[in-house]
Amino acid sequence: MNEHSPVREIKGIGEKTEMLFQKMGVYTAGDLLRYYPRTYDIYEAPVPVSELEEGTVAAVEGCVFGSVQVSPNRKLQTVSALIRDLTGTLKVLWFRMPFLRNTLRSGSRIIVRGRVVNKRGGLVMEHPEIFQPVEKYQEKLNTMQPVYPLTAGLSNLTVMKAVREALEHIHLQRETIPESIRQRYHLCEYNYALRGIHFPADKTMYMYARKRLVFEEFLEFLLAIRQMKEEKETSVNGCRMEKKQEVDDFLSQLPFELTNAQKKVWKEIRKDMQGDYTMSRLVQGDVGSGKTIVAVLALLEAACNGYQGAMMAPTEVLARQHYQSVCEMFEKYGIPFRTELLTGSMKAKERREAYERIETGESQIIIGTHALIQEKVNYRNLGLVITDEQHRFGVRQREALAKKGNMPHILVMSATPIPRTLAIIIYGDLDLSVIDELPKDRLPIKNCVVDTGYRETAYRFMKKQVEEGRQCYVICPMVEESEAMEAENVIDYSTMLSERMGPEVTVGYLHGKMKQTQKDEIMEKFAQNQIQILVSTTVVEVGINVPNATVMMVENAERFGLAQLHQLRGRVGRGAFQSYCIFMTASRAKETKKRLDILNHSNDGFYIAGEDLKLRGPGDLFGIRQSGLMEFKLGDIFQDAGILQMAAEAASSEEIREFPVYGRADRDNIHVL
Ligand code: ADP
Ligand code: MG
């Protein structure tokens, strides 16, 4: 077995498991080794019942007290028991494990470990792991257990076993970092790093493993950027465009005037496209600053010049939204170009027809997801490529789209709040434009951080907003274990909320497990105000634009990164109405309050990200990532700014230039073990 062997060849993986792995993007043994844990579970010593804190994961040692009950509810069969120690009694619930009734004996000693939640005013432990006899807990005490990203049917244990098996049987020979650089920056060997990231013996091992892998990730990325920059510097503008009057006419018909910041950025883009060299420009602007219209202007100018323009969005919902708003605008202002939508969920026939219109040039503006860079898509004369919400895409995808044309202009749109100094390292190949101004009609969003006792008040508030004609988002508690559980959660929550709101209010829901057509339908209804309250997972996080929505309520806000919360908040305050953001938190920890308070006092994404970092400090090993900023698997440009700096230094060193792996022009090989 080697890194390229299909996962199927790993002992214990059958056809069914292989399919589940494939769903998660794991095809080969090498993929599996790079399927890093999402976090680690540290098994700490049991705590007395009286000291349990809501919202935490804890272990409790005690006796099963009284009889074990099975609820008659068929939909979600629940087993409940009481565990008692010297300090108190704790209610414990298990889902879908009716057989526990026969295995848990009254009076027997037990250790349970799980999440403690508040149910109807009392603390309850949900679905804990059971250790019986209690000595079994000793084996796990203080260990770091990897927690992998999962999907329904794929258990953490399955992944652990497969990784262990792969680590044991694959002989790894790769070393991609020159010895001298490893020594200079105290980076461990690749083999050690892989073991350490999956099964760290302790925190030190984990730290070294992670440092090495993050360094490598950054290094690879920076080298790719450097290469793009070198290519660009020599690239003469092959898609030279002229200023078109039609674009200015279109602009003058819009219901609003561009902000000064938008005007400035549009001017820069226009100048680039007319200039001597191919454009590579990053447009950075906080959520709601109006990046889309700038992109549309660029697409229109390209089309007027006889070129095709493509815009790639990170999700289908977002791609569709862009597509619809462009179609509407073009229809309204009599723009004669055909816009095409291309997404993965389209039917084969639809897609074939779209391919054909793209190939013949019948469609001039193409909007879509990753589907835009599929092999089968041939563009007639692609002159402009835009990627929206860049942090979801990699350099490689950006490049793949650019390769579809003959050196098209490149425009990248991002709401990621990065300080300028970092942006220069990370987007070294791009010129930078900043939209640092919100449209005039915007009122600052009002924020509050509240505990769960405020929930009823929040519901009343939302109802009032709906009565005034507005709409609301509720982001459901995050369930990290699996998408299926998350879906269930969203459905239950929306049922509850619907009852609470009464028949006049329509509550809809959205989650990652839904089919694309269902998601689109719901988003469409929400956009039309046929749904007033949308309960959702973070799938609404990126880019969605419904200006009539004025309330964003986030449950379990403490579990999100501040940058992500800021993105969520950006879903409201997009129109002229006063908007509100309610961060609900179950955690009474002081730290939580302090972190969330940063959001409470600022609506400035740049400031927020910086403060979050300061507060958590570099020692926060398992802190919440700032949501998927950039494409890094492990690295976090904020948290690991120090490593990024080192990698930037290394990237321009002589040793790297001479090192065989990177010396090769073919960068794609770097990813292969
Ligand atoms: P983002 O920068 O987050 O992508 P969008 O481009 O989606 O923001 O714009 C948010 C909203 O602001 C949209 O409804 C858009 O029509 C509107 N908008 C954009 N520019 C202006 C402007 N200059 N004046 C008023 N509204 C604007
Ligand atoms: Mg946007």
Domain spans in the chain, listed from the N-terminal domain onward: 1-43+143-171, 44-141, 245-435, 446-602
CATH of domain 1-43+143-171: 1.10.150
How far away, in angstroms, is 421 Cα from ligand 2 center? 23
The answer to whether 33 and 166 are in contact (CB under 8 A) is yes
User: Over pLDDT 70: what percentage of the chain?
Assistant: 89
E-assigned strand segments in 202-327? 280-285, 308-312
Give the three-state DSSP class for 519.
helix
Taking residues 167-189, report their average pLDDT: 86
Which atom number of ligand 1 is nearest to the Cα of residue 570?
Answer: 3
Instruction: Tell me the chain's radius of gyration from C-alpha atoms.
Output: 27
Protein residues with C-beta less than 5 angstroms from the ion ligand 2: 543
Closest CA to 512 of 487, 544, 490: 487
pLDDT for 666: 38
Q: What is the pLDDT of residues 382-432, one digit of tens each?
A: 999 998 866 555 666 667 777 777 788 989 888 766 666 677 777 777 788
Query: Whose alpha carbon is nearest atom 18 of ligand 1?
Result: 290
Dig out the tokens for 538 from the structure: 């973070």
Taking residues 472-494, report their average pLDDT: 78
Question: Which ligand is located closest to the Cα atom of residue 311?
Answer: 2
d(CA 559, CA 88): 28
Q: Tell me whether the CATH fold assigned to 245-435 matches the one assigned to 446-602.
A: yes
E-assigned strand segments in 86-169? 88-95, 109-119, 122-131, 144-147
Model confidence at 621, in pLDDT bands (50, 70, 90)? very low
- Is the pLDDT score of 623 beyond 50? no
pLDDT for 438: 86
Sheet hosting strand 549-554, strand order edge to edge: 446-451, 580-585, 549-554, 471-475, 533-536, 507-510
For a ligand 1 pocket test, name from 545, 566, 569 the mutation site with the most ligand atoms within 8 angstroms of its C-beta. 545
Superfamily of domain 44-141 in the CATH hierarchy: Nucleic acid-binding proteins (2.40.50.140)
How far away, in angstroms, is 464 Cα from ligand 2 center? 28
- Is the pLDDT score of 106 beyond 80? yes
Question: Per mean pLDDT, which range of 124-138, 250-264, 592-606 is the poorest?
Answer: 592-606
CATH of domain 245-435: 3.40.50.300
Continuous H helices in 333-402:
348-360, 395-402
Closest CA to 371 of 400, 396, 338: 400
How far away, in angstroms, is 378 Cα from ligand 2 center? 26
Taking residues 219-245, report their average pLDDT: 82
Q: Whole-number mean pLDDT of the chain?
A: 85
pLDDT for 619: 42
How far away, in angstroms, is 258 Cα from ligand 1 center? 9
Which atom number of ligand 1 is nearest to the Cα of residue 259?
Answer: 23
pTM: 0.69
Superfamily of domain 446-602 in the CATH hierarchy: P-loop containing nucleotide triphosphate hydrolases (3.40.50.300)
How many residues would you count in the chain? 673
pLDDT for 484: 65
Which atom number of ligand 1 is nearest to the Cα of residue 262?
Answer: 23
Which atom number of ligand 1 is nearest to the Cα of residue 389?
Answer: 4
Tell me which residues have their CB closer than 6 angstroms to ligand 1: 256, 258-259, 262, 285, 287-293, 415, 439, 441, 543, 545, 547, 574
Q: When comparing pLDDT for 203 and 135, which is higher?
A: 135
How far away, in angstroms, is 637 Cα from ligand 2 center? 21
How far away, in angstroms, is 422 Cα from ligand 2 center? 21
